[in-house]
Amino acid sequence: MSLPNILTYGRIAAIPVVVGCIYAQSILDQPLWLRWVAVAIFIAAAVTDYLDGYYARIWNQQSAFGRMLDPIADKLLVASCLLMLAADGIIHGWSLWAAIVILCREILVSGLREYLAALRVSVPVTKLAKWKTTVQLVAIGFLLAGPAGDEVVPVVTMIGLALLWASAILTMYTGYDYFRSGIHHLIKEDEV
């Protein structure tokens, strides 16, 4: 029960609240201010993604459980929001492909990490992958604001969609990069 792990639990707990706010606003036709609540909670959850790792390192509270749970929390947050935004219609048409690329990459990298972990091979997170996550989170924040944001600045949704495509491109590159770095371990294992 270290602070870094509590922050990760908080990120997971935020998911149903964010999804519930968007569901209530969009599907149940509730007021637009619910989008701002979703954005605020999402931003708080995204900030915990940075803080949990930061505190774990500076306080030397890194744990196997935290290393396992942190990326799961990230993927749950991103996937849940992307699915809700697709159901909401904010992500639609060609932009669905960007969301599909992001979700497929997350599954591919998770499976690769799991397999390589069984071989006791570590796959470190690259700086570019951290940038990819940042762009993804910012894109989702803009998209969660959606129509409420468009009332303030008419291009909020368009900025979110452009950032979603940028993160999809980074996602493809980092996914390929992870796969390329892990493939020689897969080939070596088959040769044994």
> Which pLDDT belongs to residue 190?
64
Q: How far apart are CA 35 and CA 21, in angstroms?
A: 6
- Domain ranges (residues) in the chain: 3-190
Residue of 103, 125, 115, 105 whose CA lies nearest to 182: 115
Nearest to 166 by CA among 138, 135, 189: 135
**Does residue 192 carry a pLDDT above 80?**
no
Q: How far apart are CA 85 and CA 92, in angstroms?
A: 9
Question: Does pLDDT of 122 surpass 80?
Answer: no
| Residue 51 in tokens | 């803080």
Q: Could you give the C-alpha distances from 40 to 58, 67, 140, 141, in angstroms and in order?
A: 27, 26, 12, 9
pLDDT score at 130: 87
Angle at 58 between CA 41 and CA 109, to 5 degrees: 60
User: Over the chain, what is the mean pLDDT?
Assistant: 89
Say how many Å lie between the first and final Cα of the chain, rounded.
Answer: 41
Q: 39-72: per-residue pLDDT in tens?
A: 999 999 999 988 887 888 888 877 777 777 888 8
Helix, strand, coil percentages, rounded to 5, for the chain? 85, 0, 15
Find out whether 105 and 171 touch, Cβ atoms under 8 Å.
yes
What is the amino acid identity at position 173? Y
Q: DSSP E strands: which ranges in 18-90?
A: none
Residue 58 has a pLDDT of 87
Domain 3-190 class in CATH = mainly alpha
